[in-house]
Structure 1
């Protein structure tokens, strides 16, 4: 049996009108192309944005590590060994007492120092050149870490070579 035809008369329309069709598909393809281009630009922008944030975080970490080593060496040079030891991580503080730290630097004091740039790879390392009163030059490597890796984590020295 089929669907009965609509009744005859004025103002009567079939139950479902046929949708209008555009015989030219050009506007459809233009819309899809613009939408695809916008999507690609958003993806590229996201990748670039993540890269910029990552690079900024690395530069901030490098500056913080160099500032940490500079502060440590200033405290040692001023013979404030307790304050210098406070910049160590918990593990290194447990290994090195204030008197041991004082003995280490009193036996071979330095008159000046120069802190190099930090390197961030598997660990954060900072090179410093120490110059003694006799003109001897020693290069030391300081390794830093964030004990509580959060957004506002502060660095501490965890090893010195």
Structure 2
């Protein structure tokens, strides 16, 4: 009968384990640094997105204001210079359907002649722009230019100018 040797007794204190132990010191600082960097990147990304959205809104608003200013100015220049046929052609289709060129000319020629004007900022909900006018007799007033967007060209067209 052969006997197997008994296992050796466990080693005592100060013995090196057969695998490295995970480091304990500095763990909280690394986690804090990682969370801080992640939060910083998130703030930069969201801040950049917000800045881009604000910039896009500003540019689009300025472009719409510029287009409305040009359209209303061209129309008022034609009316002021008594080029009623040109002014009629600048009207939106709905207004042209509601009145003939002769009716338009009769109505506009009876109005007080405009000496100068200043077109304000476009109000995007109603598609209207305020117009401060000075008439030929020196009196002043405020008109509202109502616009419509042409579905084919995308450009604004004047539908009416009202007091």
Shared fold by TM > 0.5?
yes
CA contact (8 A) 1:108 1:132 kept: no
**TM-score normalized with structure 1 length:** 0.73
Point out the structure with max Rg over C-alpha.
Answer: 2
1:32 paired to 2:35 = yes
Q: Deviations over 1:33-69 (max 9, x none)?
A: 2022101221122112101211221122112212211
Residue 61 of structure 2 corresponds to which residue in structure 1?
58
The question of whether the paired residues in 1 share the 8 Å contact of 2:75 and 2:87 is answered with yes
Q: Secondary structure at the match of 2:121?
A: strand
1:128 equivalent to 2:131? Answer: yes
CA deviations over 1:92-132 (Å, ceiling 9, x no partner): 12113221121112223514121231242422322234444
* Paired residues for 1:86-101 under 5 Å: 86-101=89-104
8 Å Cα contact 2:64/2:122 also seen in 1: no
1:72 is the counterpart of 2:75? yes
Unaligned runs of 5+ in 1: 1-17
**In the alignment, does 2:161 pair up with 1:160?**
yes
Show the counterpart of 1:115.
Answer: 118
C-alpha separation between the residues in 1 aligned to 2:84 and 2:21? Answer: 85
What is the total number of aligned residue pairs between the two structures?
142
CA distances 1:8-31 after superposition (whole Å, capped 9, x unpaired): xxxxxxxxxx89844332223312
Q: TM-score, normalised by structure 2?
A: 0.72
2:52, 2:89 → 1: CA distance? 37
CA contact under 8 A between 1:111 and 1:131: conserved in structure 2? yes
